Amino acid sequence: MDAATDLRLVGGVGVPEALLSDPERFGGVRQGDLRCGTLILRGGRVEGLTLETGNSRPECIVLSRLAEAHVHLDKCHSIERCNDVGGNLQTAIAAQMRDKVLCTAEDLERRARRGLSELVAAGCSAVRTHVDWSASADAPLVPLAWEVFGALNDEAVKDGVTLQRAALTDIDEMSDPARADAVARRVARDGGVLGSLVLHHIKRREGLEVLFACAEHYGLSLDFHVDEGLDPDLNGLELIADVAGAMRFSGPVLCGHACSLASRSDDDVARIADKLARAGVAVAALPSTNLYLQGRRDGTPDRRGITRLRELARRGVDIIVGTDNVRDAFCPIGRHDPIHSLGLAVLAGHLDPPFGRHLHTITSTARRAMGLEPLNIEGAAVADLLVCPVPSLSDLISGNSPVLPLTEHLGVTNAP
Ligand SMILES: [Zn+2]
């Protein structure tokens, strides 16, 4: 059959309005924050919705493939061999450092392959993994995991999946321009992302200025682990916004964690949010690891450790949700599944219904923060879409049924 005239209809579909640029024009009938009807696919692409006849309650939700902007495939699924897990961030860093002697190429590939396949099964077509990258004098310039994951990306691309690698350096070490340049040059050569850990580092301002200059020079995106703690003196997020603004940095900047905003005054949060919005810096909330590591004390935790998602969003900052650590020293349980992570953010960050307005945190905004074009549903290729056989976004985010590639669904149902 001529691909241009190949018509397929999928009945009983609900499409989140928030994932459409023009819901009225897309068609269907509005039900809550869904457009419902029969999905029209022509020539392998989405044309719109017709009005549903009969039972108008959708039988399935169709959405674009997901983006996971923050995982650690070099650490995941190592929990069985990590001792002394169950403390704060510094305890986790020390435990994971001790585990590094076991991270051979075979071990890294096995665990990362598992993590990536879990993410793809959960609906992802874009994944960013951080890779621990020490530029200290006694470490090799390029970490083993960086090389191993490069080969994994070459494989993933053939299946329509992008695996980005983000170098996770130490910001004090990046204050040395020669070291930072060597890392940035290699990251640029490999199409990677430049990043750093920013906590109470003495040279964090100098390191950020050097790192931004390197990123500008090589045309790189930036990604930070910043202010992963509840100490109100952690000010890396504001420093990043200041440096990005002062340099008029043009590339995407994504800041993960930003937990210490929870300990700042409303005035501080408003000021920092305005700077982030002006500089175009996005913030990733990472609820699973924050819930596990933050707010540690003798008794039950009474702090959540989640950044001020709602306040940031209200002032125009791009916010996204990521999965972070899965079954390692930083988080001893977890799933590589952005929908599950969004569910955690709903609970921990009070992201209330209607839920369609939060889907961008694991789709379009997450892709933009990764430097990728958003996947619009209008005109989308069937291969870029997912389907979940549930009638509502509450069911979807609850994980009451797995998401499937729409191509698989069409094959199973043999739609006309
Ligand atoms: Zn992380």
Looking at residue 414, its pLDDT comes to 40
The reply to whether 7-65+376-413 and 66-369 are identical in fold is no
pLDDT band at residue 51, thresholds of 50, 70 and 90?
A: confident
Ligand 1 mean position, distance from CA 290 (Å): 10
- The rounded Å distance from CA 177 to ligand 1 centre is 25
Please state the rounded mean pLDDT for residues 111-122.
Answer: 98
For the beta carbon of residue 389, count every other beta carbon within 10 angstroms: 17
Amino acid at 384: D
Report the sign of the C-alpha dihedral through residues 83, 84, 89, 94, in that order: negative
The reported pLDDT for the residue numbered 1 is 45
* Strand pairing report for 66-71 and 45-50: unpaired
Distance 130 CA to ligand 1 centre (A): 7
The answer to whether the CB of 13 falls within 8 A of the CB of 38 is yes
3-state secondary structure of 137: coil
Query: Domain 66-369 belongs to what topology?
Result: TIM Barrel (3.20.20)
CA 345–ligand 1 middle distance (angstroms):
16
Per-residue pLDDT at 217: 97
Cα of 305 vs centre of ligand 1, distance in Å, is: 14
- Give tens-digit pLDDT for 196-225: 999 999 999 999 999 999 999 999 999 999
- pLDDT tens digit sequence for 125-162: 999 999 999 756 666 789 999 999 999 999 999 989 99
Question: Which H or E run includes 113?
Answer: helix 105-121
Using the CB atoms, write b or e for 63-87: b if 16+ within 10 Å.
bbbbbbbbbbbbbbbbbeebeebee
Looking at domain 7-65+376-413, does it have CATH number 2.30.40?
yes
pLDDT at residue 134 in the model: 79
What mean pLDDT is reported for the chain?
A: 93
Read off the pTM.
0.95
**Where do the domains of the chain lie?**
7-65+376-413, 66-369
| Alpha helices (runs of H) in 123-192, residue ranges in sequence order | 144-158, 177-189
129: CA distance to ligand 1 center in Å?
9
Percent residues over pLDDT 90 in the chain: 87
* pLDDT tens column, 265-324: 999 999 999 999 999 999 999 999 999 999 999 999 999 999 999 999 999 999 999 999
Residue 239 to residue 236: CA distance in whole angstroms = 5
CA-nearest of 228, 293, 287, 234 to 258 is 228
How many angstroms does the Cα of residue 395 sit away from the middle of ligand 1?
A: 28
Q: What is the mean pLDDT of residues 231-256?
A: 96
